[in-house]
A = this chain, B = another copy of it.
Amino acid sequence: LLSKQIGINATHMRLPKTATEEEVSTHFRSKLHSETIHGLIVQLPLDSIHKIDTEKVTNAVAPEKDVDGLTSINAGKLSRGDLGDCFIPCTPNGCMDITLNVCVQNTVLSAKRFLETHQPGKWNISYTKLNLQKPVPSDIVISRSCVPKPVDRLAKEVGLLSDEVELYGKTKAKVQLNIVKRLQAQPDGKYVVVTGITPTPLGEGKSTTTIGLVQALGAHMKLNVFACVRQPSQGPTFGIKGGAAGGGYSQVIPMEEFNLHLTGDIHAITAANNLVAAAIDARMFHESTQSDKALYNRLVPLSGGQRKFSPIQLNRLKKLGIEKTDPSALTEEEITRFARLDMDPSSVTWQRVLDTNDRFLRKITIGQSPTEKGYTREAQFDITVASEIMAVLALTSSLEDMRQRLAKMVVATSRNGEPITTEDLGVSGALTVLMKDAIKPNLMQTLEGTPVFVHAGPFANIAHGNSSILADKIALKLVGPEGFVVTEAGFGADIGMEKFFNIKCRYSGLRPHVVVLVATVRALKMHGGGPTVTAGMPLPKEYVEENLELLENGCSNMRKQIENAKHFGVPVVVAVNGFKTDTEAELDLVCRMAKAAGAFDAVRCSHWAEGGAGAVALGQAVQRASEAPSNFKFLYDLELPIADKIRIIAQKIYGADDIELLPEAQHKVELYTKQGFGGLPICMAKTHLSLSHEADKKGVPTGFILPIRDIRASVGAGFLFPLVGTMPTIPGLPTRPCFYDIDLDPETEQVNGLF
């Protein structure tokens, strides 16, 4: 790290935790005699720094001339104890000329400055000035007009060491998970979740508010702040217009990098998901065409004169209760149980995925080539973000934990009712290998130069719709106790926020300080009885002219969503995301109604048109709310029966009178309870356009029974998802997809027409 700053030829070595002074000294000397170097950067494990007497080491390796300022670096470093690097300058012949000596003095200054400015809780970060235009240009034009800081510089500004960062080009980087260990003793910052009222099909600017808020907290209020957002699915980018990187002057940039490929995490999920699918069908095929013995001989082949179980196969044996490690020791009955997964084709719940809006893959028949000998079956493709592997990525807390979750995923049921997992298929290790880079959060920046983690984007429908726990955790350490992490939950508060609390926070152990509830005059009017709005169509006049009556009626939905947040004991700040057609009286009314409904505060904001400057009032309200008392609690206990957990959500959050379990759902309640999955949290798959299960019921519907059609299990991710109605899991392309407008300028290499 320091070597880059110092800019002289340096070398790295990592010493074992148990290194003695003699070993350190020997390492240094051998290094010094083998290469021409000007100095050494020593990385000492944090827990060993007290064991090593640095002065002795220094004397051992650079004894001839003392170097002014050197001891003070070491002292400074070691006394702080939070940074594992110390610097010992020396030359191969042990002598140091005046130039280098002076450089070293300079180094001392650099190192001191670095340490002073990189203390957690005090970033030395440069913000990017916005050059606001009116009317506000298109998202891609704004994104392009701002030159992002080199991401390695941003990483340094927020306290990441260069060894912890993997650059992906100049504007994106991955952060290695070893940072979790380095910062484990560091206290967390304040944790803010952004959610919304029940939205219109146009969306109400939750992402934009998330980004606007962090621009305000950072560039304007000079606080350490991170936004943690979901990676968007690439498929819809080419379907119907609508960016996911925020919008206007509150965006993650470069927005085309954000919306396309990013660092390949979603592609890795596609590959991993489809490897499981291929393994399922290939296994059913091979089992159906081979005897138990032939199957076993192929699964545990003779190689170099011996047969051996692979570690993954030993895991399966353990699960079956067969405590043997010698393949020749299995009985015939054990061979059958081991070799034959005996999956019921009709029980396969694992689908193939693509990150493409391909409606013709919603239902397909596979296996029709003669090579598959007639073993056809009906199957489907989902969009990649609907893969359970995406939910695993979002909910995992470490590489080890991800390995375990990826092994527990249930893909089908055997003919005698046993759940069959990816570990049974033998594919769990390969999945972990495919996902080893995807697990590292992606660092990007806002238009105003504040940091953003973009990591995981599970479907907010059949999954929980929240970005990753790992990104939130790392960000909370990086911002320090006075800093803020703002994360976004998908859809309205009844869906994304409820899952944020009951699923994500349950697995992460993190406790949020503030809920920001985004409301718009447009959506509230719709809830008050205004006409339907459709993406791509002009807005009816109710939405572009003042109408206080509709608005006041519609505030019922906001009131209910505020109550929903307060069920969890967390203060709520309402952010009224202003549109240019909103009137003063309308905006005032919403704020008044929000406070009357129990919001800690309610403020209007204009970050879309003005960037962070338009969300400073919101930032200040959030800061105050973060200091208010909060008393977080979950909505339900995991130990409750499955139906009770579903009922609590339906009644308390949706306002239903009761739930009705349809036969398939009733069957699954029994099956999952028997299979031991009854203790998982619940992830409702319900429309986001109404508090009820009927998308056209606006406001606060009452007097309804919530029908549960079916229940599915994402055992690896760790939740059951009851299906309320039918859920489309892969979108289609309209007659004129927005790809008609998208092109690359081969001269400038700029992307045109993307939002």
Contact = CB atoms under 8 A, between A and B. Distances in A.
Nearest to A752: B429
Main secondary structure of the interface of A (DSSP, over half): mixed
Nearest to A728: B371
Contacts of A754: 433
A354 interface: yes
Contacts of A106: 99-100, 103
A114 B378 CA distance: 63
A204 to B, nearest CB: 23
Contacts of A428: 743
Interface size class of A (residues with CB under 8 A): 35 or more
A378 B360 CA distance: 11
A271 B356 contact: yes
Interface in A72-110: 98-100, 102-103, 105-106
A429 B366 contact: no
A274 interface: yes
A30 to B, nearest CB: 12
A437 interface: yes
A624 interface: no
Nearest to A437: B261
A732 interface: yes
A751 to B, nearest CB: 5
Contacts of A400: 746-747
B749 A429 contact: no
A433 B274 contact: no
A692 interface: no
Interface stretch (A4-12, A441-449, A572-580): A4-12
Given A7-B7, A399-B749, A278 B744 contact: no
A94 to B, nearest CB: 19
24 contacts: A4-B7, A7-B8, A167-B167, A169-B174, A271-B355, A275-B356, A277-B356, A282-B360, A286-B735, A299-B736, A310-B741, A352-B358, A354-B354, A359-B369, A362-B372, A363-B372, A365-B368, A368-B378, A369-B380, A398-B746, A429-B753, A432-B743, A433-B742, A436-B749
Interface of A: 3-8, 12, 35, 98-100, 102-103, 105-106, 126, 150, 166-170, 174, 234, 238, 256, 260-261, 263-264, 267-268, 270-271, 274-275, 277-279, 281-282, 285-286, 290, 295, 298-301, 310-313, 352, 354-369, 371-372, 375, 378, 380, 398-400, 403, 426-430, 432-434, 436-437, 732-737, 739-744, 746-747, 749, 751-754
Given A270-B270, A270-B354, 8 more contacts: A261-B434, A274-B354, A274-B358, A279-B737, A282-B737, A362-B371, A426-B740, A436-B744
